Structure 1
Amino acid sequence: MSLGLGGATRVYVIVGDPIAQVKAPRALTAALQSRGHDAIVVPIHVSPDHVDRFIDTMGPIRNLDGIIVTVPHKFAASPHCASLSDRARFLGAVNMMRRNPDGSWDGDMLDGVSFLAAMRLAGRDPAGQRVLHVGAGGAGRAIALSLAEAGVRDLAIHDEDTVRRDDLIAQLHQAGWTAARVGLPDPAGADIVVNATPSGMGGDEPPPVDITRLSSTMHVGDVITVPEITPLLAHARSIGCTTQSGIDMFDAQLDLMVNFLKGQRAG
């Protein structure tokens, strides 16, 4: 279904730096329109220096109903929200913003729940599993929280930014998830390997983990959408691992995004 663009069209924007790689504008516009909503999603490229001013500027625009937030603005966007989901409040980050009835913003963070949904669609339940999780940025923190909530047995977290890594582990411990610990980029012994870093996007950087230590029994997940099959996933598939890509995560998130923008809260 394709609705005509007119004065009654509701507008959503997706903001990031860079922005050319994102899949949401076309897919989310199509998903909204397929449900009968006269809406369009527009990509906006904003640098970190200007993101606060940009979000403030969006406030008075009355036909703008939502903001989708991508790298690197997920932490910066959170303070602009008058209300937050429990997970967004815990993480201090959002990737979705929608209008409250009074015109203020309500925020949620769907990266973690969508990553786990994609994992389960790929046939792997994280409960009781040993996980090597690489990346403690916005998406990484959300995925780590969802893994902890899902009942993983061991959550080894690695990030080259050790302050960011230690902050995430301490936060999970304070909330009672003591399975979180410092990890190394060595997947030996893990059941699940998660890459929540940009490694693999550029094509010439080293893999986020030692791929020679992967084994065929592992499940390997990546958040990167371009390229869809990163060198990490390509090697994992070549040795028989089950895998999930950033596109799988996005596909799992699409319905959650539409539901959120139209007033529902994801579980």
Structure 2
Amino acid sequence: LYQQVQTLNTDLEKQVQDRTAELQQKVQELQQLNILKDDFLSTVSHELRTPLSNMKMAIHMLKVFPVSERGQEYLNILDTECKREINLITDLLDLQRLEGGTELASTDVIDLASWLPTIIDPFKSRAKEREQTLKVKTPKKLPQIVSNNNSLSRILAELLNNACKYTQDGGEIKFIVECNQKKSSKKNLVESSFSIKFMISNPSEIPASELPKIFNKFYRVPNADPWKQGGTGLGLALVKKLVEQLNGNILVTSSNGWTTFTVEMPV
């Protein structure tokens, strides 16, 4: 009986080892495929950027000359689609760069009191075009923070863009800023750390089953765009990478007909 048990244990150990080796090989193959996919996307994106830039210039030159009303309509369609493709390529290249993790973001001192209006005001105008309301709530005294100006601008602009895009005409969008102080005790010393939260909400609920996938590349929530606004499915993936690069956190919640994205950044 003892010999039988020993034989069974030996067989089981061998099966586990074989299975583990097989799984490790599969993981390596998947990793290699992922690298090849990223290399392909990067190469194709670089190759497409130049002809698209030339197309954009050609469209701009054609608009200078008088054309019929129908011709102007076609030029506007070409211009819109060209911009869409350029934005897609830019997002792909930026994601590739961020996923490589080789580039550190430079830091700037940002005075939120004067800086935030430059981000929010264009979206107020855009909201008015669709009779939407953009409600802004901030503390009376906003701090200065140390972050990357371009990255933080892009994060908030992308989230505001989505909020406007996925809100019905006449709907309400909320932009709230909160300053938070956290205290922690270490060896009888009380240490304080400050963070700032940017919360962007709009009246559009995302099913709970879709929330874990919302930051995946090329993922779009099914049936979430009844107004056919379009998109690449890269915006939120890019936002998440940018937030992580700035040592921040991003959280999404959705219930009672509202979706809220919360970005928390160190001050």
Query: What TM-score, normalized to structure 1?
Result: 0.25
Larger radius of gyration: 2
More helix by share: 2
Query: What TM-score, normalized to structure 2?
Result: 0.25
